Amino acid sequence: MPATEPAHRISGFVDLQVNGGFGHDFTTNPESIWEVATRLPEHGVTAFLPTIVSSPPKAVFAAFGVLAAGPPDGWVGAHPLGLHLEGPFLAPERRGTHEADLLAEPDLELVERWIDAGPPRMVTLAPERPGAREAVGRLRAAGTIVALGHSACTAEAAGAAFEWGAAHVTHLFNGMSGLDHRHPGLAAAALTHPTATVGLIGDGVHVHPTMLRLAHRILGHRRIALATDAVAALGAGDGSYRLGGLTVTVHDGVVRNESGDLAGGAASMPHLVRTMLAATGAPSHEVLAMATTTPARIVGFTPWTGDAVLLDGDFEVISTTIDHAVVYRRSP
């Protein structure tokens, strides 16, 4: 975008899928949630969902404990809005970078323990797994947003899950059955459902620009939440990092697992905004809504009036304000 374009003062970015950042992984080190949150304002993020990937139960409950204990004295940073549990109720054939041995069928006893400890703000699961219907119902009754993802389900199975109460789809197109003309899957169901919302990793790596345009034309800016799916590499550069129990490697800003598959993201929210603007040609206010008001509405969050981000004409962050105080200002 031209640098001469006027600056934008908007609500802070809201990211519904942050696995870590700045060298820290939330699944293996949940105590780092507060440290990462202090630095997310560098990228204009003022609220986020710390995301825990498929892991032993003790890792999930440790993360619940970190949030329940609250921030350290004097802490200032992006607001954690509750946990996003991505797994372990996922389909093995669409697991991506989730350890196969840690996947499980939906377990109501475990769900009840999550609810007692949290409840989680969002849970991503595969609706075709036995017991998914009961898990969706119980989570919805507890106020958790149920998202479909890492799934090989048919469009019909996804449609049934939306009727059970699922309302969101995690990282549309990635880790799911797709748009086959004879065997449509979860992605097709999301695009044709009248109200389902989606997360979209619009970094130019996870989803081709043509598919970004397709999603925008069908769903519009009120049903797409840009999500970074950030791993520990966010803000830390190329190198090797942990994502749960696995090692991922970042080269030229692209995160891959040991098999060479994509394994989360390293791009910032401003990068996603620029990529979506270039791919879709949509007005800037629509793309900015995908990073602010739309994700906030999806999780039932009313942004604080004292939270804002100032962007320059290239959509880079000039300053970020939280609770009426400037917590990040770009160096001159």
Just list the catalytic residues: 229
Q: DSSP state, 175?
A: T
Strands 45-53 and 84-86: parallel
For the chain, give the number of residues: 332
Rounded Cα distance between 98 and 137, Å, is 24
243 contacts: CB under 8 Å, gap ≥ 6: 19, 20, 25, 27, 53, 97, 231, 232, 257, 263, 264
231-240: b or e for each residue (b if 16 or more CB lie within 10 Å)?
bbbbbbeeee
DSSP string, 71-134: PPTT--SPEE---EEE-SS--GGG-SSS-GGG-----HHHHHHHHHH---SEEEE-TTSTTHHH
DSSP string, 224-264: EEE---B-TTTTT-SEEEEETTEEEEEETTEEE-TTS-B-S
Rounded Cα distance between 199 and 21, Å, is 19
- Other C-beta atoms closer than 10 Å to the C-beta of 186 total 33
Would you state the structure tokens that stand for residue 42, as one six-digit string? 């560098």
